[in-house]
Structure 1
Amino acid sequence: MAKKRSPPDLSALTRGELEGVVLTLWERLEALESKVAKNSHNSSQPPSSDGLRKTNSLREPSGNLPSARPGHKGNTLKRMAGPSRIETHQLPEQCDRCGCAQDQEAAEIAEQRQVIDTPVVACVVVEHRVLALRCACGQLLRSAFPAAVTQAVQYGPNVRALEVHLTQGQLLPFARAAQLITDLYDIAISPATLLAWVDEARVALQATADAIADSLRAAPLVHADESGLRVQGKLHWLHVAANDSHTWYGVHAKRGMEAIAAQAILPRRLGVLIHDCWAPYWQLDGAHALCNAHLLRELLYVKELTGERWPARMSELLLRANELCEAARRQNIALGAAGAAALRTLYDAILAAGERRHPAKLKPDGKAGRVKQSVAFNLLLRLRRYADAVLLFVSDPAVPFTNNLGERAIRMPKVKQKISGSFRTLLGAQNFCVIRSCLDTLRKQGHGMLAVLRRAFAGNPIQPARG
C-alpha cells in the first residue's frame, strides 16, 4: 500500500507562490481528466483499452432495422450441378395398401435433395522407385528420382503449404496447427518442423516481397501506419506500407526515422503518403494526406472536453466534403476549383473561431522550456499547419478520406499477437512479415492464400501484378 502523504503547509507561501501551486494543480487535474475521458471513439486508443465501458461509434445510425428490408428476396443454399454421388431411394416392394408388387423401373423421380459435405480425408503416400539394370556391355543403368524428392521419407508441398497457411495466414499457434493436421490427416508433425517450413516459405517468397516493396515505391498512393509488436519479450515496431493492391510489412526495434530509412520504402516513394500525422512522417519529402478519421475522433474529444460548437462544425464540414467528393467520383468528375475554394474558406473560418477561444499560452518570465498548451490549441494548430494535407482528398479525387487501408493492414498481425503472444525470435517476426506481405498482396489481387503457398513450395511462386 502506498504511503499516504500529508498535505503541504501553504501558510508561509506568498500570493504569487500560491497562484503557482494552484496553476500546477489545475494542469495536473486537466491531464488526469483528459486521460480518463479518452477512449476508442474519441482518440486513437484501441477498443481493447475501453474495458467494460460502452462507447459510441462515430457512425450515425441509418434508421434501418437489423432485419432485411421489405421486398428483399434473400438467398438460400443453391443446388450444385454435377453431384459427386447419387443415391436413389427405392420404393417399397409392395403397396402398403393393396399388397401389389411394384415395378421399380417404371418409377419417376418425384423430388431431389442435396447434402453438401466434406469428405473424410487421408494423406496420400507416393512411393518413388528408381530402377537399375546392367547392360549387356557391362554399363550399369539407373533411373533418377524427381528433383524435389531428396530424402528417404519427406513431406510434400501441399502439407507444407497448408501448415504455413494455418500459422501465417490463419494465425493459429504452431501447436494447434500441428494438432489440426493430425486430426484431419493422421500425420504427426512437430511444431519444430513447422518452424522449419516457415523458414523455407520465407526464402521462397523473399523475391516476391521485394517486388511488392518496389511496386509501392512507384505507386501513386501509399498508406503508412505502425504499431507495437512484442518480440523476444521486448517492444518492437511493426511498420506497414499499403494501397488497394499491395501490402508490405516490416519489423524494427525502432519506431521513427531510423526504421523508416532502413526499410527504404517511404523515403523513396513517388506518390502521396497517407498517414495519421505522426511527426516523423513529415520529415519525408513529397505530398502528404492526413487520415480524417483520426481528426474526427480528436474533434469529438475536444467537443466533449470543452462543450464548444466549433469542433462539431469542423466535423460536419469534413463529413459533408467527403460526401460531395464521393458523389463527384461516382459521376467520374472532380469537385472543381470553386467548390474546393468554398470548402477551404469555411474550413479557415471554423479554425479562426476556435483559435479565438484557445489562444496560445505565453511563457512566464524566467521560466525555461516550452509552455504546455491545451488539447484544443494543439489540435487547432495541426489543422491550421497541415490544412493542405487535411483537404487533399477534396482537390485530388484519387486521395481517400481516411488511412483505412493502412489501419486494416495492421489488424491481422495484432490478432496474431493476441492469439499466440509475442514472437519468440526476431527471425520469426521477420518471417511472418515477409510471408504475410505476399499473402495479403496476392489475396488483394484475387489469389487464394493456400494456392500462393503451394506455388511457393513447388518452386514457382506467383508474382504480383504492379499497381
Structure 2
Amino acid sequence: MEIPEEIKSKFPECPPEIVAYIYYLHEKIDKLETRVTELESRLNLNSTNSGKPPSSDGYTRKNRATSLRKKTQKQPGGQPGHKGKTLEQSPNPDHIETHSPDICSCCGRSLQGGTIISLEKRQVFDLPPPPAIEITEHRSQTLVCNHCGCKTSGIFPPNVTQPVQYGSRIKAYMSYLVHYQFIPYERAVEACYGLFGVSISPGTIVNLTHNLSEKLTPFEDTVTNALKFEPIIHNDETGVRVEGKLHWLHVTCTSQWTHYSIQNKRGMEGINEIGILPDFKGISVHDFWKPYLSYPCTHSFCGAHILRELKRVEEETKQQWPGNLIELLIQAKEIKEEYHSNGVPIPPVMMNSLNTSYDELIQIGLDENPPPIQILGKKGRTKKTFTRNLLERLELYKDGVLLFIQNLIVPFDNNLAERDIRMMKVKMKISGGFRDKSTAEAVTLIRSYISTIRKNGIRVIEAIYSAFKNNPWIPGQDKMRTYAQESMVVSTCSQHA
C-alpha cells in the first residue's frame, strides 16, 4: 500500500507498519461512513421524496398523507361545472307494469271502474338475463352450370375459417375482460361460463390474444408513424419480467396516442429498436434518464420528479434552499395555469423574475454543498453526494426544467406517461410476468390499442369487436366501417367434368 507523504509526516517517530495500519483504518472508516450515509438515505426513501410507488410505503410509515400539493378552498366532491352522471328516468321505458289497488283502503269495497286521479312513476334499471350462445351454421353450395358445365362454389365469409370456431363478439368480450379489466385467465374462463354457459380454455384466450394482436398491425404502424410527427410526446419506462428475465417496457404517448413496446434492453439500443425517438424532432417530456438526452429533440423534464428529489434533499440536509425552490416551482406551475390556460404567454417581467430566483437558489445550494475534496493518494474521482449531483443537473439543464413556463403546450410534469405505464404495472401485479416474448409483445400492442381508443372516447368493447372484424379503429377515421359485403360470393371455375 502506497502511503502519501502527508500522512508519513504526521507520524515521524512511528514505525512504517503502524503508519500503514493507521492509513488503512482511516480509509476504511471513510468508506464505512459513506456507506452508512447511503443506506440511511435509502432507508428514508418513500413515494413523496423519490420515484418509489405509494404501495411500497407500507402501513407503518408516519405522515403517509404528506403531499407537496397545497390545500385549496375547494370542497370535497364534484366541483361547479362538473357534468354529473345521475340516474334519470327514461321517457321510453322498455316495459311498463301497472300496479292498481283492488279494494278501498278505507271501506274495503272493490275499486274496479274507479276514477284515476293521479299517477306516480318509478323506474328500475336492470340487465336482461345473459343471452344464450347463438350457433350459426354456414353452408357453401357448389352448383354446376347447365350451359357450360362450370362448377361455381359459394365462398365462406372472411372471418369463417374453421369447421368450428368462436365468433367475433365472444372473442371481443373475452379480450375485454382479460386485457382491459385485467381479470386473470382462469377467472375470465369462469366468468364466461357463468354469464354465457360456454366453457373456454385459458389456452384459447392466449390464442385470441395473438389473433387480436395480428389484426392490430395496421394500428401499430399508424401510431408509430404518427408519434414521430407530434409536436410533443411523453416518454417513460419500467421493468417487466419476460420468461423469468428482466425486460423493459417503454411507453411513448400523447393525449391521443399510446404506444407500448417490450425490449430486451433499457437504453438506446431498445429505444432505437422502437423507432420513434430517433426520428422525432419535437419536444420530449421525461425524467432525467440519460439515454433520452442522446436524441436531438428538445427536452422538457418532469417537474413532479424534481419536487420529490428536492424534498429528499430537504429532509436529509435540513437546508432551506430546497424548500424555497419547491415553492418557486409550484408558484411557476400556478402562474403557467393562470396565463397559459387562457392562451396568454407569461409576461416577460414575471418570466425574468422566475429565472432570476431559480438561479439564485441553485447558487445558494451549490455554495452550501461544495464538491467533495479529492483525498491525496486516492485513485479515481471522489463520489459526489446526491444533493451535489442534483444541483449540477438543475443548473446544467435549466432550460429544460423551466421550459413549461415558456411554451404553451409543455406540461409541468410527465403524468401522462406515468398514468399509461401504471396500467401495465397493474397487469404485472396480476400475472407476475409473461411466459414468452411473443405473448408479451401481443399484450403490449393490445394495451396500446385500448389506451388509444379510451383517450378518443370510443367504447372499448366495440373497438375490440371491430378489430376482430379486421377493421381496427384508428384516430382520424370518422367511423368504423361496416361489413355488409361479408357474404359476397366469389366464383371459381374448374374444367369440365
User: Fold conserved (TM > 0.5)?
Assistant: yes
Note the C-alpha offset of 1:148. 2.6
Aligned residue number for residue 114 of structure 1: 123
Distance of aligned partners of 1:143 and 1:428 in 2 relative to their CA distance in 1, 3 Å threshold: closer
Aligned residue number for residue 482 of structure 2: none
| Unaligned ranges ≥5, structure 2 | 1-16, 478-497
Aligned residue number for residue 68 of structure 2: 58
Aligned residue number for residue 316 of structure 1: 327
Q: Which of 34, 37, 60 is the matching residue for 1:30?
A: 37
2-structure distance, mates of 1:134, 1:104: 70
Q: Which amino acid aligns with 1:458?
A: K
2-structure distance, mates of 1:67, 1:421: 35
SS in 2 for 1:251: strand
Note the C-alpha offset of 1:68. 7.3
Q: Which of 78, 81, 85 is the matching residue for 2:95?
A: 85
Q: Which amino acid aligns with 2:52?
A: Q
Report if the CA contact (8 A) 1:91-1:104 is conserved: no
Report if the CA contact (8 A) 1:172-1:416 is conserved: no
1-structure distance, mates of 2:25, 2:162: 83
Aligned residue number for residue 125 of structure 1: 135
Report if the CA contact (8 A) 1:337-1:395 is conserved: no
Q: Choose 272-281 or 140-149, whichever is displaced more.
A: 140-149
Q: Which amino acid aligns with 1:124?
A: E
**Count, aligned residues:** 455
Tell me, yes or no, if structure 1 residue 380 matches structure 2 residue 358: no
Q: Which amino acid aligns with 1:459?
A: N
Alignment deviations for residues 277-304 of structure 1 (CA, whole Å, 9 cap, x no partner)? 0111111112100001000001001001
Note the C-alpha offset of 1:121. 1.4
SS in 1 for 2:433: coil
Tell me, yes or no, if structure 1 residue 416 matches structure 2 residue 423: no
Tell me, yes or no, if structure 1 residue 425 matches structure 2 residue 432: no
2-structure distance, mates of 1:67, 1:145: 55
Note the C-alpha offset of 1:265. 0.7
Aligned residue number for residue 227 of structure 2: 216
Distance of aligned partners of 1:126 and 1:350 in 2 relative to their CA distance in 1, 3 Å threshold: same
SS in 1 for 2:122: coil
Report if the CA contact (8 A) 2:241-2:247 is conserved: yes
Note the C-alpha offset of 1:141. 7.0
Alignment deviations for residues 233-267 of structure 1 (CA, whole Å, 9 cap, x no partner)? 11110001011111100001111111011111111
Alignment deviations for residues 208-256 of structure 1 (CA, whole Å, 9 cap, x no partner)? 0121111111001111000000111111100010111111000011111
Report if the CA contact (8 A) 1:172-1:420 is conserved: no
Q: Which amino acid aligns with 2:391?
A: L
Note the C-alpha offset of 1:330. 2.3
Tell me, yes or no, if structure 1 residue 156 matches structure 2 residue 163: no
Q: Which amino acid aligns with 2:89?
A: R
Alignment deviations for residues 64-97 of structure 1 (CA, whole Å, 9 cap, x no partner)? 5646799x998743112311111111320x4354
Tell me, yes or no, if structure 1 residue 43 matches structure 2 residue 59: no
1-structure distance, mates of 2:447, 2:207: 17
Aligned residue number for residue 389 of structure 1: 400
Distance of aligned partners of 1:108 and 1:13 in 2 relative to their CA distance in 1, 3 Å threshold: farther
SS in 2 for 1:33: helix
Q: What does residue range 230-379 of structure 1 map to in structure 2 within 5 Å?
A: 230-379=241-390
Note the C-alpha offset of 1:154. 1.9
1-structure distance, mates of 2:372, 2:128: 72
Distance of aligned partners of 1:407 and 1:111 in 2 relative to their CA distance in 1, 3 Å threshold: same
SS in 1 for 2:265: coil
Distance of aligned partners of 1:208 and 1:105 in 2 relative to their CA distance in 1, 3 Å threshold: farther
Q: Which amino acid aligns with 1:222?
A: I
1-structure distance, mates of 2:152, 2:231: 60
Note the C-alpha offset of 1:384. 0.5
Q: Choose 165-174 or 352-361, whichever is displaced more.
A: 165-174
1-structure distance, mates of 2:83, 2:469: 45
Aligned residue number for residue 165 of structure 1: 176
2-structure distance, mates of 1:274, 1:364: 39
Note the C-alpha offset of 1:104. 4.6
1-structure distance, mates of 2:166, 2:464: 15
Report if the CA contact (8 A) 1:208-1:464 is conserved: no
RMSD: 2.5
Q: Which amino acid aligns with 1:32?
A: L
Query: % of aligned pairs identical?
Result: 39
Q: Which amino acid aligns with 1:206?
A: T
Note the C-alpha offset of 1:200. 0.9
What TM-score do you get using the length of structure 1 for normalisation? 0.91
2-structure distance, mates of 1:162, 1:115: 26
Alignment deviations for residues 115-142 of structure 1 (CA, whole Å, 9 cap, x no partner)? 1111111222223345577777796776
Report if the CA contact (8 A) 2:343-2:408 is conserved: no
| Unaligned ranges ≥5, structure 1 | 1-9
Distance of aligned partners of 1:102 and 1:338 in 2 relative to their CA distance in 1, 3 Å threshold: same
SS in 1 for 2:90: coil
Report if the CA contact (8 A) 2:281-2:296 is conserved: no
2-structure distance, mates of 1:73, 1:154: 43
Q: Which amino acid aligns with 1:178?
A: V
Q: Which amino acid aligns with 2:92?
A: G
2-structure distance, mates of 1:110, 1:38: 64
2-structure distance, mates of 1:257, 1:188: 45
Aligned residue number for residue 490 of structure 2: none
2-structure distance, mates of 1:213, 1:274: 17
Q: Choose 115-124 or 236-245, whichever is displaced more.
A: 115-124
Note the C-alpha offset of 1:337. 3.1
Distance of aligned partners of 1:380 and 1:188 in 2 relative to their CA distance in 1, 3 Å threshold: same
Q: Which amino acid aligns with 2:58?
A: G
2-structure distance, mates of 1:453, 1:68: 32
Distance of aligned partners of 1:403 and 1:134 in 2 relative to their CA distance in 1, 3 Å threshold: closer
SS in 1 for 2:97: coil
Q: Which amino acid aligns with 1:148?
A: N
SS in 2 for 1:238: strand
Report if the CA contact (8 A) 1:267-1:284 is conserved: yes
Q: Which amino acid aligns with 1:274?
A: V
